[in-house]
């Protein structure tokens, strides 16, 4: 997660930037899943919400569907 955050701060082509943001959204979604399985629903919600916001930003419809189902 930290590595993706650092790399995403650098200047990249729009295509690379979109891929990095999708990767970050996936990582955040995975953290949400882990926290959910541990019963830590507030933390889980925070990660799912951050993932959703990024997926909406890059118009990643398939990723949005994964989060809301």
Torsion of CA 24, 37, 35, 10, to 10 degrees: -10
The pTM assigned to this predicted structure is 0.76
Q: Has residue 12 got a pLDDT over 90?
A: no
User: How confident is the model over 12-33, as a mean pLDDT?
Assistant: 87
Identify which of 38, 39, 27 has the alpha carbon closest to the alpha carbon of residue 3. 27
How many angstroms separate the first and last alpha carbons of the chain?
Answer: 23
Q: Measure the CA–CA gap between 54 and 37, rounded to whole angstroms.
A: 22
Does position 43 have pLDDT exceeding 80, yes or no? yes
pLDDT at res. 63:
78
């Amino acid at each position: 997660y930290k590595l993706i955050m650092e790399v995403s701060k650098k200047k990249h082509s729009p295509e690379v930037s979109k891929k990095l943001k999708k990767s970050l959204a996936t990582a955040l979604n995975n953290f949400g899943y882990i926290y959910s399985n541990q019963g830590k629903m507030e933390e889980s919600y925070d990660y799912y919400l951050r993932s959703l916001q990024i997926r909406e930003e890059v118009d990643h419809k398939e990723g949005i569907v994964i989060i809301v189902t």
